[in-house]
Amino acid sequence: MKFATEYLEFNTRKQREYINITDKVEAVVRKSGVKEGMVLVSAMHITAGVYVNDAESGLIQDIDDWLEGIAPYRDDYRHHRTGETNGDAHLKSLVVHHEVIVPITNGGLDFGPWQQIYYAEFDGQRRKRVIVKVMGE
């Protein structure tokens, strides 16, 4: 079995941002030489997430609005007593989750129609990482 690991780095321009990383993950898979297996894509920060969905701008805005409705920014989060001001970012990341696993078939990502991999940043404007781990034959 082969394994390959690479790290993607992000420093977003906005506090909340959604970045399509499908091409970057595909490049790691191609470089690995794995033809059959899976790839794990995981945010390495507790205020970010990774998800699979459609690459349609209206949907991305709907997701952002929905997450803000579930976990809006507020001044009164208990977490803020630590000196942080990102309590909502921690909650949003719980909803999105921090990782996805995508099958690899014939050397490529084996998606359904319209599926893409997104990095979701909820406390940005600083350096963050995502691990991409390819496993298979």
CB 29 within 8 A of CB 111: no
Flag whether 37 is in a domain. yes
Domain count, the chain: 1
User: Residues 15-29: pLDDT tens digits?
Assistant: 999 999 999 999 999
Report the CATH number that the domain containing residue 50 is assigned in CATH. 2.60.120.460
CB 123 within 8 A of CB 46: no
pTM for this model (two decimals): 0.95
Q: What confidence score (pLDDT) does residue 48 get?
A: 98
Average of per-residue pLDDT across 124-131: 96
**Domain coverage including residue 104:** 2-73+85-136
User: Residues 31-47: pLDDT tens digits?
Assistant: 999 999 999 999 999 99
Q: 30: which residues sit within 8 A by CB, 6+ positions away?
A: 107, 108
Q: 48: which residues sit within 8 A by CB, 6+ positions away?
A: 93, 98, 119, 120, 121, 122, 123, 128, 130
